[in-house]
């Protein structure tokens, strides 16, 4: 699958955005190593902090279906300028998908392909928890 097609899947997913508070619609599409695509949109909540971004919706859908290996995440919004993933999503994508390609798209159709590690240098990860003592039950 080429990245232009992946972006069009993200753009289509944006149609289901539940964003009555911000009116900021976002769609995302995650590409797995086997070529499958999982899409998601942002889902806001009246208790604002419970909102889930499009990227996490898409990735959680994929992981909950058993996917473990990923290649890219594409993001689309209604803005003229590209919408980069928020900090929380960068952390979640790094944890679950690793240093994947992040494809940003602009209103005029231009794509910008970045590596997640460039967007999130020195990430916290499971490796940092290896010395944690767990309590026995
Ligand atoms: N949002 C996303 O879904 N993804 C992003 O990359 C940036 C922000 C959502 C969260 C909220 O519903 C709205 O956009 C405004 O922040």
Residue 55 designated active-site: yes
| Residue with CA at minimum distance from ligand 1 atom 1 | 53
| CB-defined site of ligand 1, < 6 Å | 19, 22, 24, 26, 42, 44, 51, 53-55, 75, 83, 85-86, 89
Supply the pTM of this predicted model. Answer: 0.95
For residue 47, the CA-to-ligand 1 centroid distance in Å is 15
| Residue with CA at minimum distance from ligand 1 atom 3 | 53
How many CB atoms lie under 10 A from the CB of residue 97?
Answer: 24
CA distances from 66 to 13, 56, 61, 72, 96 (A): 21, 15, 9, 17, 12
| Residue with CA at minimum distance from ligand 1 atom 9 | 53
Q: Which of 14, 11, 77 is nearest to 41 (CA)?
A: 14
| DSSP class per residue in 21-76 | TT---EEEEEEETTS-EEEEE-B--SSGGG-B-HHHHHHHHHHHTT---EEEEEEE
pLDDT tens track for 18-76: 999 999 999 999 999 999 999 999 999 999 999 999 999 999 999 999 999 999 999 99
pLDDT tens track for 69-108: 999 999 999 999 999 999 999 999 999 999 999 999 998 9
């Amino acid at each position: 699958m080429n990245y232009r097609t992946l972006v069009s899947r993200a753009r289509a997913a944006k149609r289901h955005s539940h964003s009555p508070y911000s009116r900021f619609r976002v769609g995302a599409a995650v590409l797995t190593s086997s070529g499958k695509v999982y899409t998601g949109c942002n889902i806001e909540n009246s208790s604002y902090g419970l909102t889930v971004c499009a990227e996490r919706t898409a990735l959680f859908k994929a992981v909950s279906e058993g996917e473990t290996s990923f290649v890219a995440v594409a993001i689309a919004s209604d803005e003229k300028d590209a919408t980069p993933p928020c900090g929380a999503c960068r952390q979640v994508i790094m944890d679950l998908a690793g240093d994947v390609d992040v494809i940003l798209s602009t209103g005029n159709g231009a794509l910008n392909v970045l590596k997640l590690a460039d967007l999130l240098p020195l990430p916290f990860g499971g490796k940092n928890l290896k010395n944690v003592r767990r309590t026995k039950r």
